[in-house]
Amino acid sequence: MDRDFYTEDHELYRQTVREFLIREVIPHRERWDEERWIDRTAFTAAAKAGIYALQIPEQYGGAGELDYRYRMVVCEEVSRAHALSFALTLALQDDLVLHYLLDLTTEEQQQRWLPGFATGEIIGALAMTEPGAGSDLQGIRTEARQDGEDWILHGQKTFISSGIMADVVIVAARTDPAGGTGAFTLFVVERDMPGFERGRKLAKIGLPGQDTAELFFDNVRVPSANVLGGVGRGLQNLMSHLPRERLGISAGAIALSRAIFEVTREYCFTRTAFGKPIGDNQHVRFELAEMATELDIVEAYVDKSVRAYNAGTLTPVDAAKGKWYTSELQKRVVDRCLQLHGGYGYMSEYPVGRAYTDTRVQTIYAGTTEIMKEIIGRDLSRKPLG
Q: What is the DSSP letter of 322?
A: H
The DSSP bridge pattern shows strands 124-127 and 168-174 to be: parallel
Active site residue 245: yes
Asked if 255 and 72 count as a contact pair (C-beta separation under 8 A), the reply is yes
Residue type, 188: V
DSSP 8-state code for residue 40: T
Residue 316 CA from chain centroid, whole number: 16
> Which is nearest to 189 in space by CA: 213, 239, 154?
154
Q: Of 245, 266, 287, 349, which one is the catalytic site residue?
A: 245
Cβ(334)–Cβ(356) under 8 Å? yes
Residue 5 DSSP label: T
How many other CB atoms are found less than 10 A from the CB of residue 306? 21
How many C-alpha atoms does 271 have within 13 Å on its Cβ side?
16
> b/e for 66-96, b at 16 or more Cβ within 10 A?
ebbbbbbbbbbbbbbbbbbbbbbbbbbbbbb
Angle, in degrees to the nearest 10, between helices 242-268 and 84-91: 160
Residue-wise DSSP of 136-186 = -GGG---EEEEETTEEEEEEEEEEEETTTT-SEEEEEEE--TT-STTSEEE
Catalytic residues: 245
